[in-house]
Structure formats: structure tokens, C-alpha cells
Amino acid sequence: MFFAYTVLVISMNEKRFRYAVYVVLVILILLFYTKDIDLFGKNFYKNIKSIDHPEAIMVLVNKTYKLDDRYIPNDLETISTSYAYENKQLRKEAKEAFESLSKEAETLGFRIIATSAYRDYDYQKKLFEEYVADKGEVYALECSAKPGHSEHQTGLAVDVAGSNDDYDEFEVSMEFPWMRENAHRYGFILRYPKGKEGITGFKYEPWHYRYVGVEIANIIYEEGLTLEEYYDKYL
């Protein structure tokens, strides 16, 4: 009887041991495959690097790479009010591409309008601080960049609205499907896609588009990449 009991205990202990080993192995596998994913934002706004060539069309601005507070693009142009709210500016190449995009959309019965484009450092600082005061820092960090870390300062990023005239509701506008499938043809990418928050550091923003040029935009669109992933893969 005692012998049988002992065998049973040993058998149970072996099962528990094997179970514990399996659990450890699963954890190690998960850690290996997610080691480069910043699931909890622990790497955002750490080890900040200054941007050496902010004028480059492919410049990477995010929660790691920062623009100088004095940087202002030298080729900003005002977007036609046919396709933007008043006094919205982009760099010349991006502005011309955006107007062409909006013009084609218009011929198809759509309305793509720029609600926000270039923002200087001080404007972004004020905006971020307002988010913090109104919604708290955690929310602000998800949806707004700290000053110097905003793509809008490059003059290459644009927030858009559709015929419902609300950028925050752009995803439910009739324009969104067209914009999502055609922006790359004009050199724009959906900068903060759904499911890539751990890479970009920002929540999904269906209204935020970034100009990178037609060639790069096509690659990013076809391969379903973020700008960060494109840099890691190709640069």
C-alpha cells in the first residue's frame, strides 16, 4: 500500500514538473518572439537621438528620433483652400502631391481635405500640454507627440477629413476606403495603422498620412509595413 502511494506521489510530482517545464518553455518562446516589440512602451522616449538631416523626405521622426526645436522647413507652401482649411502648409513636394490626390478624389465624388499639416515646435508643445491637462499624461502619450517628436514639424504629415468634415470620424466617412487604397499612389502612407501601436508608439490614426514619395509608399503599402519597419528592413 505504502509503495503504491509512493509511486502515485512520484508520478504526480513528475507530471507537475513536466507541466512547469512546458510553462517555462512557452514563456521563453514568447519572450524570444516579442523581444523587439515594445508591448508596454518601455522603450518610448528613451535614448533620444537627434535628427541630423531633417530635410530628407524619408526622415524618421518618432518617440526615439527628435527634431531640433528651431527646425522649420524652408520650402513650405500653403495648400489650396479647395483641399484644406485655411493656412495649412506642407513642403512643396508633399503639397503638390496632396493637391493632386485631392483633385482626383474630387473627380470621383469624394472630398479629401487637410485639417492639420505643418506645426512648429512651440505649437506642438502647447498642444501636447493641453492634452495632458485635459486627458492626463497616459492618454496624451498615446495620441499626441511630445514637441520635437511630431511628424507635423517636418511639413510632410497631414491629417485629413472626408465629406463628414470630422477628422476624428474619418474612418467612417465614404472617403476612407478610397484614401486607404490610393494614398500610396501619390506618395502618402497611413502612418499609424491598426495593430502596429507597439511599433509606432501611437494609437491607430486613420486620418494621419505621411509623405515619403511614391516609390517608398508603394513598398510600404504592398508589404503592410510601418515606416519604422521599413527602416529596419531596408535602411
Are the C-beta atoms of residues 30 and 43 closer than 8 Å to each other? no
Pick from 78, 77, 83, 82: which is nearest to 160 by CA? 83
Of the listed 137, 205, 215, 228, which one is catalytic? Answer: 205
C-alpha to C-alpha distance for 187 and 214, rounded to whole angstroms: 4
N- to C-terminal Cα distance for the chain?
70
- Tell me if residue 223 is catalytic: no
Which residues lie below 8 Å from residue 174, measured CB to CB, with a gap of 6+? 110, 162, 163
User: What is the number of alpha carbons within 13 Å of residue 196 lying toward its C-beta?
Assistant: 16
C-alpha to C-alpha distance for 10 and 17, rounded to whole angstroms: 10
| Residue corresponding to grid cell 472617403 | 175
**Catalytic annotation, residues:** 205
